[in-house]
Every structure is written in structure tokens, then in C-alpha cells.
Amino acid sequence: MPDSWLGRRIAFLLRHFALKRLDAPVDVESFGARFRLYPFDNVCEKRILFTPQYFDADERRLIAGHIQASGAPYVFVDIGANIGGYSLFVANAARGGAKVFAIEPQPEIFDRLIENIRQNPGSGVKAVACAIADQDGEAILFVDNHNRGETGLKFVRPDQQSDGVVVVPAKTLLAFAQEEGLSQIDALKIDVEGAEDIILAPFFQEAPESLWPRMLIVESARERWQLDLMRLLHEKGYRVLTETRLNFVLERSIETAS
């Protein structure tokens, strides 16, 4: 369907009827990668299966250009990787010249991520089963059984939630980067359902500038942030390339970084 209001409405209507006929996972090729998709409880998988042309098209265009303009190996960190849509897209766009870290804490979704990575041998994607948080240790993950992609670290009492609760290992972004021996991060995507600020703020306070990502894709969740994250990023030398319905895409110039 065309990228128009009417095209999207028709596509979503057809998706609704198609889902009623599905009772098994679906194997597809998208973004130059192979996926096994379970679209029943995850909007991310629905989008990749039925409407990949609408899946963060501006974000993917910008990061593809960033990859072409950067040298190899291209280091990409995907926080909240879900089933690997972004990670495998970057790996394919870099044509084997990338180190991709797909970080996903939710056990069931992590299993799907692993399955998709295995379908793309030689992709250079490393799956990491943990939550990135503001401190090392363990975190409580509240699982949204209707949309697994909405699962996240939520600062509420467990008795306020009707969905499942999972305890997962957690570490800071800086600790993760140090454990992986990273000396640079070319691009970082973070989609953690409103906890972006509590992850990025301490990272920029403690990490050396050499580790600050040159490009950032940050989920737009201003109403849930506890601080003005966009102001902080501006102070650190980032400029907004675009703001989409779901994300901010920012870049820090080489001149600023030096």
C-alpha cells in the first residue's frame, strides 16, 4: 500500500483480517534479512510482516546513510532490540562490516531474537540477554502480554500490574560497553518504554567522550521522562536530524566530538 493516510488505513484493516487467519509463525525476508515472525502478541512483528515499508522508514534511511559515510567496523548498539528488526537491518546495510549488539531482556522475545540471528549466519549480530538500566544488579520487568514490545522497566508496585513479572539481570550502558571492550559506538538505538533518560543521563556523565555515539535513535517518550533528555543531548553536542511519530534521530558531528 502507498505511504498515505488512506494507504495506511487500508493496510491496517487488511492486517486485522489476515491475523484472524494465522495460527502459526511466518517465515519472511525483509530489510535484506530472514525472519521468523510471531505477529500475534507483538506489534513490532506485525509491522515487519505486513507493512515493512512503514517500519521506521526515515530512521532506516538516515542510519543507512550514516553507515555508508562511516568506516568499518561499524559499531551499533540496539537497546531494546525486540526480535532484531533494527539489528539485522544494520548488519545487512553494513554488508558484514558491522559489530551489532542486540540487547533484549525479555526471555521469550530474546528466544525469538536468537532464532532470527540464526537464520542470518555471518550477520555479525551478538544477542545480549539483559536490561540496560541506571545501575548494575537485577531489575523487575513487567511483561505486556498483549504487545510484547511494550514490555519494560516500570517504576510502579507489582500489585498495580496484571501482567507477568520477570526478574532479569541489569547493567549500566557504560558497564556493558566496558565488558564488550568497546572503544567507540557509531550508532545507538534505544527503545525502552520511557526509561531512556535514566539510562542515558548517567552514561553521558560517566563515560568518556570517545564512547558517546555519533548517531542516536531515541524513542520519543517525553511525557514519561523524569528529566529533559532532549536538552541534555543538545548540551552534549547532538542536533536533531528528524523527529518522527515514534523517534528522535540525532547526530553528533565529528568536529563536536573532537
Is 34 domain-assigned? no
Helix-, strand-, coil-residue percentages of the chain, each rounded to 5: 40, 25, 35
C-alpha span between 12 and 137 (Å, rounded):
41
Confirm whether 46 is domain-assigned. Answer: no
Name residue 213's amino acid.
P
Q: What kind and span of H or E run contains 27? A: strand 26-30
Examine residue 146 and state whether it is found in any structural domain, yes or no.
yes
Query: From edge to edge, which strands make up the β-sheet containing 238-243?
Result: 125-128, 98-103, 74-79, 187-190, 215-219, 247-252, 238-243
Strands 137-142 and 165-171: antiparallel
In tens, the pLDDT along 41-66 reads 899 999 999 999 999 999 999 999 99
Residue 75 lies in a domain: yes
- Please check whether residue 33 lies inside any domain of the structure: no
Q: What is the pLDDT of residues 178-234, one digit of tens each?
A: 999 999 999 999 999 889 999 999 999 999 999 999 999 999 999 999 999 999 999
Domain of residue 188, residue span: 52-257
Select from 5, 18, 80, 87 the least CA-distant residue to 46: 18
Is 190 inside any structural domain?
yes
Helix segments in the chain, DSSP class H: 5-21, 43-50, 57-69, 85-93, 107-118, 173-179, 196-206, 229-235, 254-257
For residues 32 and 30, what is the distance between their CA atoms, to the nearest angstrom? 5
**Does residue 252 sit within a domain?**
yes
- Whole-prediction pTM value? 0.90
User: In total, how many domains does the chain have?
Assistant: 1
Write out pLDDT tens, residues 139-175: 888 766 654 545 455 433 344 444 567 888 899 999 9
Mean of the per-residue pLDDT values for the chain? Answer: 90
Domain with residue 153: its CATH number is 3.40.50.150
- The three three-digit cell numbers of residue 4, written as one number: 498515505
Q: How confident is the model at residue 255 (pLDDT cuts 50, 70, 90)?
A: low
